[in-house]
Structures are given as structure tokens and as C-alpha cells.
């Protein structure tokens, strides 16, 4: 899959063109860096920042049936990813219906960053459609306005809201926090970061 990311219709310098390709094992170090940054955006001080752990998690998905793992790169440097996207095919345990669970989307600080994010998401949607998936889901932190806007631009609609309250130590309640840092889909995971659908773009 490939496509361009540019600034057609806008004044300013010409932006580079980018291509989208399947992620490979050679990309894992860069992808792990993206995963660490995504975790930090999503979970702040509670983020899991062990690049080796993220590398192993992503490495287990590369080439696996049902996993869509794509990177964006400039044609002049196709081996150097500047963006990363990951969607996993899932099956509803009650209905048997197949759906796609959006897990990661991140773009480096490069010219045309927003366009690269759109390019990646469009490529994921094409791959999901080709795989026969007819519904996609994705989680995003409430304060991640960039990813929320990108989802809306591509026709995603809010369907569920995860509510969270942190209790003071010792079981004494009454204190709210600004968090959103430990729960995914109503299920608390290790640090909130090992479940599905937890990843977000850095617009």
C-alpha cells in the first residue's frame, strides 16, 4: 500500500511524499520508541517505558494472521519509519462477529505530520476492509484532542465512555483525580497498558 502526504491547496513549502508499507523486524527499534511515547501520552507517570517490553509485544504481532501492522516512510529512506499504525482483528465471544481493534497510531515530528497520520489511518481502513472487517473500535484518552479529531474525520463516532475514579490510599474515597490512566474497556490491566485499544496518536 502506498500514498502521498502533501499540502495541496495550501500555501507554503512542498511537503515530502510518504509511502506506507508492512512493518518488519528491522523496524522494531523505531516502533518500540513510538510505543513508549504513546504510553507516556496516554498514561503519564504510570506509563510503561521499557522499550524491550514494547519491542517484544509488537514483534509477536508482525506477520501474524489478523494483525495489521504498518509503517510510513519517505521513499528516499524507506527503511526509516516516521509513522506507525497497528490494528488487531478480534472476534466477539458472544456473537462471533469479527471486528478490528485499533491499538496504535503515532507519527514522528516531521513535516506533514498530520497528513502522515491520515495516510496511515486510511491505509489501515483499506487493509481492514480487505480483511473482511466491517466494524472498527479504538480507545483514546479524553484529553487527546488530536486523535479524537482524526477519528471523527474518518467517520468514527463515540459509542462508550469509560468512567474512572481514584480512591485515596487506605480505602478512603472522596478524592477525584484527572486520571484516565488505568482502565481499558472496563477492565483494569497491568498499568492500564496491556489491554486492547489503548494506544493513541501523537498529533
Each residue's pLDDT expressed in tens, for the chain with a length of 203 residues: 434 444 333 344 556 689 999 999 999 999 999 999 988 888 888 888 899 999 999 999 999 999 999 999 998 999 999 999 999 999 989 998 899 999 999 999 998 899 999 999 999 999 999 999 989 988 888 888 888 889 899 989 888 888 889 898 865 544 433 333 332 332 222 333 544 444 444 54
Query: If you search the block for the grid coordinates 490512566, which residue do you land on?
Result: 181
Buried-exposed string 61-76: b where 16+ CB fall within 10 A, e elsewhere:
bbeeeebbbbbbbbee
pLDDT of amino acid 183? 26
Q: For residues 86 and 29, give the distance between their C-alpha atoms in angstroms, rounded to a whole number.
A: 15
Buried-exposed string 188-203: b where 16+ CB fall within 10 A, e elsewhere:
eeeebbebbbbbbbbb
Superfamily for domain range 19-176: Gcn5-related N-acetyltransferase (GNAT) (3.40.630.30)
> Residue 146: which region, alpha, beta or left (left: phi > 0; alpha: psi -120 to 50)?
alpha
The ranges assigned to domains in the chain are 19-176
Amino acid at each position: 500500500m502506498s500514498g502521498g502526504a502533501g499540502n495541496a491547496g495550501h500555501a507554503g513549502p512542498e511537503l515530502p511524499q510518504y509511502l506506507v508499507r508492512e512493518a518488519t523486524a528491522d523496524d522494531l527499534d523505531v516502533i518500540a520508541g513510538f510505543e513508549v511515547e504513546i504510553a507516556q501520552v496516554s498514561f503519564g507517570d504510570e506509563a510503561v517505558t521499557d522499550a524491550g517490553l514494547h519491542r517484544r509485544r509488537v514483534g509477536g504481532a508482525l506477520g501474524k494472521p489478523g494483525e495489521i501492522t504498518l509503517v510510513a516512510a519517505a521513499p528516499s529512506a524507506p527503511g526509516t519509519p516516521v509513522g506507525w499504525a497497528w490494528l488487531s482483528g478480534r472476534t466477539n465471544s458472544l456473537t462471533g462477529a469479527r471486528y478490528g481493534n485499533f491499538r496504535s497510531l503515532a507519527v514522528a515530528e516531521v513535516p506533514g505530520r498530520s497528513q502522515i497520520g491520515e495516510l496511515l489511518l486510511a491505509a489501515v481502513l483499506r487493509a481492514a476492509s480487505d480483511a473482511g472487517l466491517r466494524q472498527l473500535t479504538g480507545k483514546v484518552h479524553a484529553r487527546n484532542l488530536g486523535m479524537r479529531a482524526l477519528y471523527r474525520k474518518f467517520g468514527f463516532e463515540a459509542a462508550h465512555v469509560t468512567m474512572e475514579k481514584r480512591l485515596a490510599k487506605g480505602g478512603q474515597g472522596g478524592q477525584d483525580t484527572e486520571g484516565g490512566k488505568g482502565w481499558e474497556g472496563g477492565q483494569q490491566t497491568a498499568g492500564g497498558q496491556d489491554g486492547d485499544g489503548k494506544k493513541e496518536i501523537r498529533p
